[in-house]
Amino acid sequence: MPENVTCIRCGQTREGAGRVLPGALGDDIARSVCAVCWAEWLQQQIRVINHYALRPALKEDREKLYDITREFFGLPSAKEPETTP
């Protein structure tokens, strides 16, 4: 069962999305995104894939989708290091 997180997107503390993707992005989402915002992203993701004609099976398209996912949630880019206050 996923634990509660304070969501980086909505600011509320509720059930986390859990481990929904592999790698560092999956780690960030599991730590920082609630299940409600993840469900919103799944709906938005369909529109993003269609708008940009992405083919997630291709590495470069998948990386673009992951960049847009990070942007949607306000997560730091995979290319820039996290800063600690």
Cα maximum dimension of the chain: 38
Q: What is the pLDDT of residue 80?
A: 56
Closest CA to 73 of 1, 9, 2, 10: 9
Q: What is the pLDDT of residue 1?
A: 59
Q: What is the pLDDT of residue 64?
A: 97
Q: What is the pLDDT of residue 2?
A: 62
Residue 84 in this model has a pLDDT that exceeds 80: no
Architecture label for domain 4-73:
Orthogonal Bundle (1.10)
Residue 18 in this model has a pLDDT that exceeds 60: yes
31-79 per-position pLDDT tens digit = 999 999 999 999 999 999 999 999 999 999 999 999 999 999 999 887 6
